[in-house]
Amino acid sequence: MSRLCILFAVALLFVPMALGQQKEKTEEAYTGVAMGTGGSVGGRTIPFDLRINEYTTDEDVLQLAQLLKEKGQGALRRELEKRDVGRINAVGSTGNRIAVARKFKEGDKTIIRIFTARQMGFFELYQSGRSVDYPFGFLQLTLDEKGEGTGQFIVAVNIRFDKKQGKVEMESYGNQYVKAANVRPMK
pLDDT digits (tens, 9 = 90+) for 78-106: 999 999 999 999 998 888 899 999 999 99
CB 27 within 8 A of CB 53: yes
Q: Give Rg (Cα) of the chain.
A: 16
Q: Which amino acid is at 30?
A: Y
pTM equals: 0.81
Percent of the chain at pLDDT above 70? 77
Compute the distance between CA of residue 75 and CA of residue 156 in angstroms, rounded to an integer.
Answer: 17
- The residue type found at 186 is M
pLDDT digits (tens, 9 = 90+) for 34-66: 998 776 666 789 999 999 999 999 999 999 999
pLDDT value for 64: 93
Task: Give the C-alpha distances (Å, rounded to integers) separating 119 from 63, 116, 128, 163.
Answer: 23, 9, 14, 28
Report residue 64: phi and psi, to 5°: -65, -40
